[in-house]
Amino acid sequence: MPVAGPNIAGEPDALPGLTGHDRISARREKRFATALLAPAFLALIATTTFPLLFLIWISTQRMDLAMPFMDGFAGVDNYRQLLADPRFWRSLVLSLVYTVSTVVLQVVIGLALALLLMKMKRGQTLFRIIAILPVVLSPAIVGMVWRSFMLTPEFGVIDYLAISAGLGSQNWLGDPTMAMISVIVIHTWQWTPFAFMVLLASLAALPDEIYEAARIDRAGAWQRFIRITLPLLRPAIVMVIIMRTMVALTAFAAIYVVTAGGPGTATEILNLYAYRKSFTELSLGYGSALAVALLIVTLLISAVLFLMRRERAA
Amino acid sequence: MKTLRSLAISLAVLVFIIAWVFPILWSVLNSFKTEQDILAYPPKFFFEPTLAAYREVLFGSQSILPNVWSSFVISIGTTVLTMILAIPAAYALARLRVPGKRGAGFYILATQMLPPVGIIIPYFLVLRNIGWMDTYQGIIIIYLSFSLPFAIWLMVSYFEDIPFEMEEAAAVDGAGRLTTLWRIIIPQVKGGIAVTVVFVFLNAWNEFLFAVVLSGNTVRPVTIAMFNFVSVEQTLWAQLAAVSVIAMLPVVVLGVIAQQHIVKGLTVGAVKGGGRR
């Protein structure tokens, strides 16, 4: 499967034989291209770059919708407060726990399913369609379905299963640890089919000859997996990890619907904390500083992942 | 050995089906139950189906039809505006000599790094100041922040697949650049446009964070309106299930139609995901 993104950074194929007439047409081409690009770029600047600069400015302000008379320039006060804020550090840890656990689960389960189902001769289309269902749904709806029909004590199906298994009814979303596990499971449920689809497509694109050669070498199934399949799949796996990490760090809707960050702050990942600070507690200045912190964390993590990717590609 | 393996495969298949189909199927089943059936213990798999819940959520006092309408206006508006901006830009990036092309590509990618929770704060302040809270234009313009980079990337990949000879032949014919783009190039990427439209629509339909902050009584998509059916005192289970199913329907239909392209749509600009979840 062609997993690489489109090569828009590459130069266009050189057209042979540039003459003077062509040079004029080249200039016209540039002007034409600029006219085509300008509207989209203006829209992007207005909806992404401008808000970013504004966000950074807000983060240096004291801005409280509940106490507007206190508003004013705060310099780095919000950031100083942030570094000393245990709730911030806790939310950062929760973000990392949430991200690492959901990404690892998605990759491991997705890969296992892809390896097993690859062997199937018929019915792959059915599985592709089943795998598409969770992926296209709104995380808000997924959260609502799980929260109500799966996890509600003495009503949801999971709770029914727990009672039937003799574990008794559980407070799936009311107990801090259980709530965290629940939101991790829900995210994993929704996005594992994505990892499955990408990895299945990559597996299907691997050349058969390599396996034939390995079979002649009498390599066992496990050996073949470790020494051949895994290294060949590595680019696809790394890509899935990068994509899913970025999404997990900014996961919002499902957690918001299921627990809203609670009970207390038990499922309050950094993203949720920034939201609650800004729109529940109405401290936009401090909320902005939290959002900037999230941006920095995202950039750091993606830098590490990209370095990993380059190293492995080399 | 062989039977063991096929047993393992069958088991995986079974787990797969139960784990991923059941929560959706269960919501669908619940939406056809009476409030009495839905509360039955143990859960009922066989029951007399009724359309009562649908009748109530569609035509009852708390009808969600205005919210479905909201969702459609937002999603279609976002899709149209995104495509108008993205198609020319993607064509220029894919096929023309543009100064600073590398930088432009990187910029589009970098905009996707911004956490939505960060940019919603300035959006909120600006829209409140210009009186665009709870308006379609406010939400639709802001949705460009995630739909536009995604659509440009996806369209670039389709434009790159067209042979260069097409444009050259048209240029020899003396056709102007805009005419060439409109008459020759666009028809070549019809399929790509359709796929991009599906994904942009899907992402707009599913968006939640911006909608939660910016929506009000006028503009209130289904994903927000479903909270009407959940309250501390009482949850209307069957109606909640019916609303969930109604909200799922358009995206499931689109997803199944576009199933051949879903992996491409999900991994485009692979360095960072397209979807905003």
Cβ atoms < 10 Å from Cβ of A130: 17
B25 touches chain A (CB under 8 A): no
- Residues A203-247 have pLDDT tens digits of 888 887 777 777 777 777 788 888 888 888 988 899 899 889 999
Q: Which strand (E) or helix (H) includes residue B238?
A: helix B237-257
Gap between the Cα atoms of B34 and A282, Å rounded: 41
Domain match, A135 and A278 both = yes
In chain B, what's the furthest Cα-to-Cα distance?
75
Residue A132 is nearest to which of B94, B121, B256, comparing CB atoms? B256
The DSSP string of B123-140 is: HHHHHHHTT-TT-HHHHH
Gap between the Cα atoms of A102 and A64, Å rounded: 34
Domain match, A176 and A257 both = yes
Q: Give B205 to chain A, closest Cα distance, Å.
A: 8
Per-residue pLDDT averaged across B38-50, rounded?
Answer: 87
Per-residue pLDDT averaged across A59-79, rounded?
Answer: 90
Note whether A139 contacts B208, CB cutoff 8 Å: yes
**Coil, strand or helix: which one is B236?**
coil
Note whether B273 contacts A127, CB cutoff 8 Å: no
User: Which residues of chain A neighbour B8 with C-beta distances below 8 Å?
Assistant: 116
Domain match, A171 and A287 both = yes
**Residue B230: pLDDT band with limits 50, 70, 90:** confident
- Residues A112-161 have pLDDT tens digits of 888 888 777 677 778 888 888 999 999 999 999 999 999 988 889 999 99
- Whether A304 has a pLDDT exceeding 50, the answer reads yes
Cβ atoms < 10 Å from Cβ of A26: 14
Strand partners, A64: A283
Q: Is residue A127 part of a domain?
A: yes
pLDDT of residue A226: 86
Residue of B157 and A180 predicted with greater confidence: A180
- Whether B276 has a pLDDT exceeding 60, the answer reads no
CB A140 within 8 A of CB B206: yes
Q: Is residue A3 part of a domain?
A: no
Residue of B65 and B13 predicted with greater confidence: B65
The DSSP string of chain A is: ---SPP-TTSPPPPPS---HHHHHHHHHHHHHHHHHHHHHHHHHIIIIIHHHHHHHHHTTEE-BSS-GGG-EE-TTHHHHHHHT-HHHHHHHHHHHHHHHHHHHHHHHHHHHHHHHHHT-SS-HHHHHHHHHHHHHS-HHHHHHHIIIIITSTTTSHHHHHHHHTTS----TTTSHHHHHHHHHHHHHHHHHHHHHHHHHHHHHTS-HHHHHHHHHTT--HHHHIIIIIHHHHHHHHHHHHHHHHHHHHT--HHHHHHTTT-STTTT--HHHHHHIIIIIS-BHHHHHHHHHHHHHHHHHHHHHHHHHHHHHH-
Q: Give A149 to chain B, closest Cα distance, Å.
A: 7
Note whether B118 contacts A292, CB cutoff 8 Å: yes
pLDDT of residue A186: 97
B162 touches chain A (CB under 8 A): no
Q: Show the tokens assigned to B43.
A: 């859960």
**Residue A6: pLDDT band with limits 50, 70, 90:** very low
Measuring CA to CA, which residue among B268, B88, B77 is closest to residue A7? B268
Gap between the Cα atoms of A218 and A228, Å rounded: 13
Radius of gyration of chain B (CA): 23
Q: Give A177 to chain B, closest Cα distance, Å.
A: 22
- Mean pLDDT is highest, among A199-208, B9-18, B81-90, for B81-90
Query: Phi and psi at residue B40, in whole multiples of 5°?
Result: -60, 145
Domain match, A162 and A300 both = yes
pLDDT of residue A19: 60
pLDDT of residue A312: 62
Q: Give A225 to chain B, closest Cα distance, Å.
A: 15
CATH number of residue A114's parent domain: 1.10.3720.10
CB A61 within 8 A of CB B132: no
Peptide bond preceding A6 in cis form (omega within 30 of 0): no
**Residue B109: pLDDT band with limits 50, 70, 90:** confident
pLDDT of residue A75: 87
Per-residue pLDDT averaged across B99-117, rounded?
Answer: 88
Gap between the Cα atoms of B164 and B192, Å rounded: 17
- Residues A8-24 have pLDDT tens digits of 444 444 445 556 667 77
Note whether A252 contacts B117, CB cutoff 8 Å: yes
Strand pairing class (A72-73; A61-62): antiparallel
Helices (H), B162-236: 165-172, 177-179, 186-188, 190-206, 209-214, 222-225
Cβ-in-10-Å burial (0-12, 13-18, 19+) of B246 comes to buried
> Quick one: how far is CA B9 from the chain centroid?
33
Measuring CA to CA, which residue among B21, B186, B117, B229 is closest to residue A251? B117
Token look-up 């990404």 returns A103
Query: Phi and psi at residue A283, in whole multiples of 5°?
Result: -95, 90
User: Which residues of chain A neighbour B25 with C-beta distances below 8 Å?
Assistant: none
Cβ-in-10-Å burial (0-12, 13-18, 19+) of A207 comes to exposed
What are the structural domain ranges in chain B?
61-267
Q: Is residue A72 part of a domain?
A: no
Domain match, A102 and A48 both = no
Q: Is residue A258 part of a domain?
A: yes
- Whether B267 has a pLDDT exceeding 80, the answer reads no
- Residues A149-168 have pLDDT tens digits of 999 888 899 999 999 998 88
User: Which residues of chain B neighbour A239 with C-beta distances below 8 Å?
Assistant: 267, 270
> Given 3-state DSSP classes, what are the helix, strand and coil percentages for chain B, each rounded to the nearest 5?
75, 0, 25
Gap between the Cα atoms of B230 and B241, Å rounded: 11
Half-sphere exposure at residue A82, Cβ-oriented, CA atoms within 13 angstroms:
24
Note whether A141 contacts B42, CB cutoff 8 Å: no
Domain match, A123 and A263 both = yes
Per-residue pLDDT averaged across B241-263, rounded?
Answer: 91
Gap between the Cα atoms of A181 and A175, Å rounded: 10
- Whether A5 has a pLDDT exceeding 70, the answer reads no
A24 touches chain B (CB under 8 A): no
SS (H, E, C) B10-28: HHHHHHHHHHHHHHHHHHH
Domain count, chain A: 2
CB B270 within 8 A of CB A243: yes
What class does CATH assign to B61-267?
Answer: mainly alpha
Note whether A9 contacts B102, CB cutoff 8 Å: yes
- Residues B146-194 have pLDDT tens digits of 999 999 999 998 998 888 777 777 776 767 788 888 888 889 899 999 9
Domain match, A100 and A213 both = yes
Note whether A48 contacts B145, CB cutoff 8 Å: yes
pLDDT of residue A12: 46
**Residue A71: pLDDT band with limits 50, 70, 90:** confident
Per-residue pLDDT averaged across B63-90, rounded?
Answer: 96
For residue A209, CA distances in Å to A114, A198, A203, A228, B167 come to 20, 22, 13, 11, 40
Structural domain boundaries, residue A188:
86-313
pLDDT of residue A153: 86
Residues in B 26-55 with any Cβ partner in A closer than 8 A: 26-27, 30, 39, 41-43
User: Which residues of chain A neighbour B277 with C-beta distances below 8 Å?
Assistant: 139, 190-191, 247, 250-254
Q: Give A32 to chain B, closest Cα distance, Å.
A: 8
Domain match, A118 and A168 both = yes
Taking each helix axis as running N to C, give the angle between helix B2-31 and helix A176-204, from 0 to 180 degrees, rounded to the nearest 10: 120
Residues in A 138-177 with any Cβ partner in B closer than 8 A: 138-142, 144-146, 148-150, 154-155, 157, 160, 164
